[in-house]
A and B are shown apart, each in its own frame.
Chain A
Amino acid sequence: MSRRDVAPPGAEHSKHDPLLIARYAARDVDAADMQVAERIVAECTDCAALVADLRVIARSVAAVPTPRRPRDFRISPEQAAAVRGSFLERILRRIAMPGTAVLQPFAGAAVAIGLVLVVVGGTLPGTSSAPMARAPAPYAAESASSARPGAEVDAGEPGASAVAGDSIGPAASEAAPSPYLGAPELDAESAPLVTEGASPAAAEGAPSDTDPETGEGRASASAEPSDPTPVPSARVSARPTSDTAAVGPDEDTSSGGAAETAAQPDPAGTPLVLVGALLAAAGIVLLLLRVLGQRMMRDPGLR
């Protein structure tokens, strides 16, 4: 309550601020309040009595006898062992200690960095999740310059286009018409479209015009000629089909080589993914242990 709330000296006792009087009795007022309180106490007998009573009460409370304790509270070795807890509990308690709170942001950062590494490692060109990005580069170049590149691209997976080109999207699908529509022959101009923007659909659609005799690029086109839905090229190239069986030895070698490449672990992305996964796992484990420790060791006495 502020000083302004205090009624001027001489007013009725009920209008006086009892808290100010209590503070005055405890000598817990600043200089300005002291003057006001002194005036009030000097002019109001009830306030003066209140001050006297409060001081008597403070002394009397301190003089109340101390009760005797009913038992000895020393800890026996058995109790000490039980209180200390198991080895695991001690470890968790240590991890949960406030002094190790610094671990928490580190663990959080480890999780975040680990996840980023996993994502980056997984999406890097040529990583195992995009297996053909690196290996088929020559095929992509070939396909871009040849009149029938789709065959190579298809046989070598559209992953090639990921290296040679940029986006994986519908552009390639448009450039590579559906086999249902007569599959117009790809020319040299349309080929780069495939290589640049190839999608699984492109991989399927593009080779529909290729020469069945040469077998170039026929794998996917003839493997699922009636399937309009895009099929992941890795699956297509890895799956033997009747047309694939018809592919000549040379072409087979080229497409087979691509398939092998697809199955190989990526030398650049895999370590990143591994490190990231380990980092994230370590961070998560540390965070979990800390949370578990805090929960297990939450001590009501140490709030």
Chain B
Amino acid sequence: MEDRTRQGASEQHARDRALVERALDGDLDAFNRLVELYQDYLFALTVRVVNDREAAADAVQEAFFSAYRNLSRFRGDSFRSWLTRIALNAATDVLRYRKRRPADPYPEWEDEAWQPPADDSEAPERTAILRSRSRAIASAMERITTDQRTAILLFDVEGYDYHEIAEMTGVSLGTVKSRIHRGRLALRELLLPEMELLQD
């Protein structure tokens, strides 16, 4: 199982490197193929970090511009990690410079575009519970620090390990672990009244 995962990652890296090579030779379509591969992932991560869809979209667009501009500087093994790092930096800048915080932390929750695709097989009650749960978690996530939120998202949602997160965020391994554990403790404090909602 682990070998298969590793092989899959290796194939993904080889594919990305080939596309990078073609893009470096001036093939814009090759770069746009990379954009297609990673734009959903990158937007999903960024929007959770900045809590604002427009700001997240700006950050992702800037991240792709930055990646295209500096493609020759890509030296790492994983293009996905490199891109993630760029997007996180862009998201941090968005948070720092725009300082546009919605009064309601998640107005998007009322927007259908934010919602997961409706499953017809789900009972309406179940769907309502899932939405309430997602809203509660998202609201709590918005209230912990950006560093803790980013580390938790990279670890729990994106599945990166501690070392990869340390490399991506430019901090030590101990700092990454501390951010994740303290962030979870902070989430628990915030979610304590709603813990029943989270139980299956």
- A interface with B by C-beta (< 8 Å): 18-19, 22-23, 25-26, 28, 50, 53-54, 56-58, 60-75, 77, 79-80, 83-85, 93, 97-98, 299-303
- Minimum C-beta distance from A151 to chain B (A): 72
**A75 and B69 in contact (CB under 8 A), knowing A57-B188, A69-B40, A302-B86?**
no
Are the C-beta atoms of B138 and A73 separated by less than 8 Å? no
- Chain B, 129-188, CB within 8 A of any chain A CB: 133-134, 137-138, 141, 152-153, 156-157, 170, 177-178, 180-182, 184-185, 187-188
- Chain B, 58-75, CB within 8 A of any chain A CB: 60-70, 72-73
**Can you report 18 residue pairs joining A to B where beta carbons are below 8 Å apart?**
A22-B185, A23-B181, A26-B184, A61-B156, A64-B138, A66-B40, A68-B113, A70-B57, A73-B35, A73-B42, A74-B32, A74-B35, A80-B28, A84-B68, A85-B69, A300-B90, A302-B70, A303-B170
Are the C-beta atoms of B72 and A61 separated by less than 8 Å? no
Interface of A is mostly: helix
Q: Is B36 an interface residue (CB 8 A)?
A: yes
- Count contacts on B: residues with CB < 8 A to the other chain: 62
Closest to A76 in B: B28
Q: Is B116 an interface residue (CB 8 A)?
A: yes
Chain B residues, Cβ within 8 Å of A74: 32, 35-36, 39
Are the C-beta atoms of B184 and A65 separated by less than 8 Å? no
Q: Is B77 an interface residue (CB 8 A)?
A: no
Pick from B54, B66, B115, B187: contact of A299, CB below 8 A. Answer: B66
Closest to B187 in A: A57
Closest to B44 in A: A66
**A62 and B156 in contact (CB under 8 A), knowing A19-B181, A75-B32, A301-B89?**
yes
Are the C-beta atoms of A67 and B44 separated by less than 8 Å? yes
Chain B residues, Cβ within 8 Å of A53: 188, 191-192, 195
Q: Is B79 an interface residue (CB 8 A)?
A: no
Are the C-beta atoms of B65 and A83 separated by less than 8 Å? yes
**A67 and B177 in contact (CB under 8 A), knowing A22-B184, A83-B69?**
no
A79, A98, A300, A301: most-surrounded residue (chain B CB, <10 A): A301
Are the C-beta atoms of A73 and B198 separated by less than 8 Å? no
- B interface with A by C-beta (< 8 Å): 28, 31-32, 35-36, 39-40, 42-44, 47-48, 53-54, 57, 60-70, 72-73, 86-87, 89-90, 93, 108, 113-116, 133-134, 137-138, 141, 152-153, 156-157, 170, 177-178, 180-182, 184-185, 187-188, 191-192, 195, 198-199
A18 to B188, CA, bound (A): 11
Are the C-beta atoms of A73 and B64 separated by less than 8 Å? yes
Closest to A24 in B: B181
A58 to B185, CA, bound (A): 11
Closest to A53 in B: B188
Closest to A299 in B: B66
Pick from A23, A25, A72: contact of B177, CB below 8 A. Answer: A23
Other A-B pairs, 11, CB within 8 Å; known A54-B185, A70-B57, A83-B65: A25-B184, A54-B184, A68-B114, A73-B57, A74-B35, A75-B65, A75-B68, A97-B72, A301-B87, A302-B73, A302-B86
Are the C-beta atoms of A56 and B60 separated by less than 8 Å? no
Closest 3 CB pairs of A and B: A65-B116, A301-B66, A69-B43
B54, B65, B133, B199: most-surrounded residue (chain A CB, <10 A): B65
